[in-house]
Amino acid sequence: MTVTGLVPVASETFEPPGPRDFDLPPVFGDSILFAKPALLLVLSAIVVLGFFLVTTRRMAMVPSKTQFAGEQAYGFVRNSIARDIIGTKDFLKFVPWLVATFFFILLNNLFGIIPFIQFPSFSRVSFAYGLAALVWLLYNGLGVYKHGFFGYLKHVTVPNGVTGPILVLIIPLEFFSTVIVRPATLALRLFANMFAGHLLLILFTLGGEYLLLESSNVGYKAVGVVAFLLAVAISFLELLVQFLQAYVFTLLTAMYIQGALAEEH
């Protein structure tokens, strides 16, 4: 078979999906604020708030099914993230932040595979930057509050157990990795996972659709069916990644809080 034989015979050529598929036009008006990703953020905030309002509306000693669901969700973040990482002494006042972060990110990620929504909001990098900026303000603010400005600066830049002239080289490195690299990797990890997952899904579904419907070759049609099946399989993989990224983001937030509050580095 020649190389040209690999190209399916079709009326129009296949356009592979790319970053431009993430630039969604405004649903109404001409402001970017009314584009799908921004509206999804608002929707997720309403849904998460609604979920916890409904599940905690009538609290009873013997919980109803909805109260049980809410308590399980809350308890997961409270115990296995906040308490385990920050420690029993200080963790309680950070639980609301961490619970809100976790379920906000989780729902926005799940939007990537919920039928008819099918867009993970954090595949737009600016949202991830915004979230990481909040975390940056939180842990640095906490550190300054706890140790004082210069005390925190020392806390951040001078690692425990490192002494001598090598500190001259270490201090800028520590400062750079804690203050600049940390929020960037936090944001990019979430963004890149959501971006890549969504790209993979649209590639397999659009490619499958093209092979199945636009090509006249039976073999290509069969490959198109396989592509659709793979898209379903990847959706399950994405479910795992979406949960994991929400978990990792919250876990790292808790670790940064713990690091800022710690007595020693």
Q: How far is the CB of 170 from another protein (least distance, A)?
A: 6
Does 63 participate in binding another protein (rule CB under 8 A)? no
Residues 128-187 that bind another protein (CB under 8 A): 159-162, 166, 169-170, 172-174, 176-178, 180-182, 185
Q: How far is the CB of 97 from another protein (least distance, A)?
A: 21
Nearer to another protein, 183 or 197 (CB): 183
Number of residues this chain uses to bind another protein (CB under 8 A): 18
Residues 232-261 that bind another protein (CB under 8 A): 255
Q: How far is the CB of 192 from another protein (least distance, A)?
A: 14
Nearer to another protein, 130 or 172 (CB): 172
Nearer to another protein, 88 or 160 (CB): 160
Query: CA 192 to CA 122: how far, in whole Å?
Result: 9
* Three state DSSP letters for the chain: CCCHHHCCCCCCCCCCCCHHHHCCCECCCCCHHHEHHHHHHHHHHHHHHHHHHHHCCCCCCCCCHHHHHHHHHHHHHHHHHHHHHHCCCCHHHHHHHHHHHHHHHHHHHHCCCCCCCCCCHHHCHHHHHHHHHHHHHHHHHHHHHHHCHHHHHHHHHCCCCCCCCCHHHHHHHHHHHHHHHHHHHHHHHHHHHHHHHHHHHHHHHHHHHHHHHHCCCHHHHHHHHHHHHHHHHHHHHHHHHHHHHHHHHHHHHHHHHHHHHCCCC
Q: How far is the CB of 113 from another protein (least distance, A)?
A: 28
Nearer to another protein, 5 or 161 (CB): 161
Q: How far is the CB of 60 from another protein (least distance, A)?
A: 43
Q: How far is the CB of 132 from another protein (least distance, A)?
A: 13
Nearer to another protein, 27 or 184 (CB): 184
* 92 close to 164: Cβ distance less than 8 angstroms: no
Nearer to another protein, 101 or 178 (CB): 178
Interface contacts to another protein, rule CB under 8 A: 159-162, 166, 169-170, 172-174, 176-178, 180-182, 185, 255
